[in-house]
Amino acid sequence: MLRYFTSIFLILLLSTHGYSQEGGDPGVKDSVEYKQKYGLRVGVDLSRLVRSFADENYTGLELVGDYRLTEKLHIAGELGNEDFTQTEDLGGTLLYNYTTSGSYIKLGVDWNTYQNWYGMSNLITIGGRYSFATFSQTLNEYQVFNGNRFFTPDNFLPGAGETPEEFSGLNASWLELVFGVKAELFANIYLGISIRLGYLVTNTEADRFPNLWIPGFNKVTDRSSFGVGYNYSISYFIPLYKKSKKKRDPAISSPEQ
């Protein structure tokens, strides 16, 4: 699925690239300056909205944004909230059921590596984030493994207590390496995708129950500090001001010259 959406974005970029080539006359040297738009882009992660409707055990919302500082550099960030209930089992036998609920914030920069043609504003970016999450974990139910199966040969022993146990005041922080694409579909409206590799820096856990899933970071793997995430976003660019840039000369930039 991720490869499918990535292919769509590459096709969009190539098609807009070709359109710009057709619009110019490579035989005419043009030194006219044009105005590049600078401003704020704000949007929402579509994947979390779709998952919230499709999965009754999940509720999430992520807002995305970036501010263009220079021709290539953008300040970027995400702000989100997630609530996720999961069940772990062993061979069809319940081990535990828990709910993770909390919020996160990610702040950093994106560097646009894509060389746009005249009038284009697409992005292929590499960037980084420092991320922080605060959350709670609720142990809804669990069963205890007992080596002596005389009294419960077909099941585990039920966990003590019938009331869910909440572990609050938890937090975690991590670094993210981000690869992203944003394609302008219509005037100032962008469709984006990003892939994220996270490295867990801090992880405050409860004594009786580990952090198995962290909002914004996703699943925590045993004996590993790495995690993987992604998002699909739609956003709107709000132009605040413009800067002049000399139009690139197609004749000079041609390999034949």
To the question of pTM greater than 0.85 for the whole model, the response is: no
**Average pLDDT of the chain, as a whole number:** 82
Q: What is the CATH number of the domain that holds 100?
A: 2.40.160
Average pLDDT (226-234) is: 95
Contact status, residue 181 vs residue 125, Cβ threshold 8 Å: yes
What are the C-alpha distances in Å from 196 to residues 70, 109, 133, 139, 232? 23, 13, 16, 28, 12
Domain count, the chain: 1
- pLDDT tens by residue, 81-90: 999 999 988 7
Residue 192 lies in domain: 42-241
Alpha carbons 199 and 131: distance in angstroms, whole number = 10
Domain contains 32: no
Percentage of residues in the chain with pLDDT exceeding 90?
A: 60
The predicted-structure confidence for 87-105, as pLDDT tens digits, reads as follows 988 777 778 899 999 999 9
Sign of CA dihedral 215, 216, 219, 225: negative
Cα separation, 173 vs 211, whole angstroms: 13
Question: Domain for residue 2, yes or no?
Answer: no
DSSP state of 118: T
Backbone angles phi, psi at 222, to 5 degrees: -60, 135
The lowest-confidence range among 151-155, 163-167, 179-183, 196-200 is: 151-155
- 130 versus 5: the higher-pLDDT residue is 130
**Among 210, 207, 99, 94, residue whose Cα is nearest residue 158:** 94
Q: Is residue 18 part of a domain?
A: no
Asked whether residue 78 is assigned to any structural domain, the reply reads yes
